[in-house]
């Protein structure tokens, strides 16, 4: 589904990710772990084309997307929920979600009403506050909106960067349950950067740990041991 081979990228003048090679299969729930500043966000931004790789290749469903612009990668099937949510605070919930439809491919142009209905069933609070501006929502509601907007792009892969960061526990649980549902019941491939190790162990099939821009551990999520957590994830 998604394959990276020897991908490197700089953040400013620093080499942020170094020779990353990984393959994420269709229907996977893939967790990326690591301390702050280890290259996790840079990796996601490089996949999305928000940061330029300096070497290597990125393939989606057998197609090299390395030279595509971010919007074209979205049309090819990458849905992105950035760290900090990235919603438009002056736009209403409705308007924010409409923005998500701009990155749909031609084959997904139909069924808009059905897709809106499906997404609002996942996050009922958005329907309740349909005309409320994004900037007037709580952090948890904004995150739900960001995920809903990404889902309306009809992604093959949903990519999320720290989706539970700074959110009240009850909403974190709601978001986690929705992501598990999307993966298990609808076979949506998910790539997630997350600090909550327990959630990754619960939801993910596979994981990688990044340390100074390199993958230092990877495998089945059942292999995330206390020793690994202490070695690579404890501050």
pLDDT tens digits, 158-200: 999 999 998 999 999 999 999 999 999 999 999 999 989 999 9
pLDDT for position 235: 74
Bridge partners of residue 24, in order along the sequence? 2
Q: Classify residue 175 as exposed, middle or buried by CB count within 10 Å of its CB (0-12, 13-18, 19+).
A: buried
Q: What percent of the chain has pLDDT over 70?
A: 98
HSE on the CB side for 110, CA within 13 Å? 1
Average pLDDT, the chain: 93
Pairing, β 157-161 against β 189-193: parallel
Cβ 47 vs Cβ 20: under 8 Å = no
pTM, whole model, 2 decimals?
0.94
CATH number for the domain harbouring residue 90: 3.40.50.300
Q: Extract the tokens encoding 111.
A: 């069924």
pLDDT for position 12: 85
pLDDT for position 17: 96
pLDDT at 107 over 90: no
CB atoms within 10 A of CB 176: 19
User: DSSP strand E in the chain: where?
Assistant: 2-11, 14-24, 29-33, 53-60, 63-64, 78-81, 157-161, 189-193, 206-211, 214-220
Residue 85 banded pLDDT, cuts 50, 70, 90: confident
For residue 154, give its domain range. 2-233
Residue 57 banded pLDDT, cuts 50, 70, 90: very high
Instruction: Indicate the number of domains in the chain.
Output: 1
Q: What is the mean pLDDT of residues 13-17?
A: 92
pLDDT for position 11: 87
């Amino acid at each position: 589904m998604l394959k990276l081979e020897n991908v490197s990228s700089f953040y400013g003048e620093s080499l942020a990710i170094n020779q990353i090679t990984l393959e994420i299969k269709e229907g996977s729930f893939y967790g990326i772990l690591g301390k702050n500043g280890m290259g996790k966000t840079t990796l996601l931004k490089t996949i999305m084309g928000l940061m330029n790789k300096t070497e290597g290749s990125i393939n989606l469903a057998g197609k090299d997307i390395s030279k595509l612009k971010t919007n074209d990668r979205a049309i090819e099937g990458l849905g992105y929920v950035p760290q900090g949510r990235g919603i438009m605070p002056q736009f209403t919930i409705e308007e924010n979600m409409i923005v998500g439809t701009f990155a749909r491919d031609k084959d997904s142009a139909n069924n808009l009403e059905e897709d809106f209905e499906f997404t609002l069933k996942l996050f009922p609070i958005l329907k309740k506050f349909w005309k409320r501006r994004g900037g007037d929502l709580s952090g948890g509601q904004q995150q739900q909106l960001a995920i809903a907007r990404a889902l309306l792009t009809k992604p093959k892969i949903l990519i999320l960067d720290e989706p539970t960061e700074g959110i009240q526990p009850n909403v974190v649980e709601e978001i986690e349950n929705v992501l598990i549902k999307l993966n298990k019941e609808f076979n949506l491939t998910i790539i997630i950067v997350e600090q909550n190790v327990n959630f990754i162990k619960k939801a993910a099939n596979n994981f990688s740990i990044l340390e100074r821009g390199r993958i230092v551990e990877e495998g089945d999520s059942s292999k995330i041991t206390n020793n690994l957590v202490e070695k690579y994830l404890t501050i």
